[in-house]
Structure 1
Amino acid sequence: MKSGWPELNERVVRAVNTASNTFALEGIDTTKVGRFSKGQGIGTATPVSTWVDLSQVTNVAKTGGEQQFYQWRYVEDRNSRQRQRPTYKSAKFITLTLDYDPALAWYEALKEADAAKDAVVLRAKLPNNDELYYLVYPSFDSDPSMELDANMQNTATFSMMSDFTRYAPLAS
């Protein structure tokens, strides 16, 4: 979704209580006025229409998110004590290693997503059936790696645009 609220902008959310031209955001609490200024959250939502499951994943690695700091000292501080304050967190990305198989649907889908350079929704299904959703920019190396006594593999990297959202499965 696109939102005037920075904490919700480019975040994947699930719509509930849908009516004509209105809906609620499941699990999102926007009542904290300091973080969600009244009248500033106007935006747009784009539904996900197609999913492509990624199979034959042999490794998952998340990198980034490290807190960065601003450090300073005061000239008049006789102890020369250094101070620090948190500033930003480094960009996060998820890297998947997949066994090479150009016959599978994900292979062509990742090639197309890489070429388009558009943000997509990445869904991770957990063993308890909960799901994690990420808005990501995909990058796919369609050339398989070749190593002696190992499967040929591809690497897909997903640069995260915002925090993930976790949802329990929808009741049937």
Structure 2
Amino acid sequence: GWSKLDSKVVRVKAATATAITLESIDTTDTQAFPVGGGAGTMRKVLTWVQIPQISDVAFSGGEQNYLDVVFLEDDQGKQIPTDKSAASMVLTLADDPIQDFNKVLMKADAGKQVEAARLNLPGNDTLLYGAYTSFSKQPAVSRNNLLTRTVNLALQAEPTRYLTAVV
């Protein structure tokens, strides 16, 4: 029911029969999170599937968009922040069709639903994403290079960052 949490992947800190507390999510701003407006649905992540042999991670989008405003009496225009552009992440990985993750990615691609994705950063930070997944069926082929495939993640919400690698 709260658009700032729509398609966002978060950890549950505590749960009762009537309420949940989300870890590192502050819902005290009643403008962004109106009282009584938080009804919605959730899906529990039961397991994570590791995608090994990643050779590159590329991010795009997520930049601030602006509304250009100039009044007749102004000598200088102004920019007012509005929303942010759609963001995506592309993983380039070795083409290894016997790996178990292939089935999971193919199912996510065909399902056209927001899925949970996790990126463990070097050190101890973890980023969680809600994303639509697209998995290339055809490997990229070029001379003297590894065969690769791509996983395109169309990010549907801002990532949630946690300072522990155990999720």
TM-score, structure 2 as length reference: 0.91
Higher relative contact order (CA 8 A, sep 6+): 2
Distance in 1 separating the partners of 2:5 and 2:110: 27
Question: Which amino acid is the alignment partner of residue 124 of structure 1?
Answer: L
Once structures 1 and 2 are overlaid, which stretch shifts more, 135-144 or 107-116? 107-116
| Structure 1 position 43 matched with structure 2 position 40 | yes
Aligned residues of 1:68 and 1:88 also touching (Cα < 8 A): yes
Q: Larger C-alpha radius of gyration, 1 or 2?
A: 1
- Please state if 1:98 is matched with 2:93: yes
Structure 1 residues 49, 162: closer, same or farther in 2, change over 3 A? same
Correspondence 1:88 to 2:83: yes
Once the two structures are superposed, what CA deviation does each residue of 1:76-115 show, in whole Å capped at 9, x if it has no partner? 44x3x22221222110000000010000011222122111
2:14, 2:144 → 1: CA distance?
A: 53
Aligned residues: 166
CA RMSD of aligned residues (A): 1.7
Equivalent residue for 2:29? 32
More displaced, 25-34 or 88-97? 25-34
Q: Kindly indicate which of the two structures has a greater share of residues assigned to strand.
A: 1
Displaced runs of 4 or more, over 6 A: none
Partner in structure 2 of residue 166 of structure 1: 161
Distance 2:150 2:78 in 1: 41
Gaps of 5+ in 2: none
Structure 1 unmatched ranges of 5 or more: none
- Structure 2 partner of 1:127: 122
Q: Is the 8 A contact 1:102 1:108 kept in 2?
A: no
Counterpart position of 2:4: 7
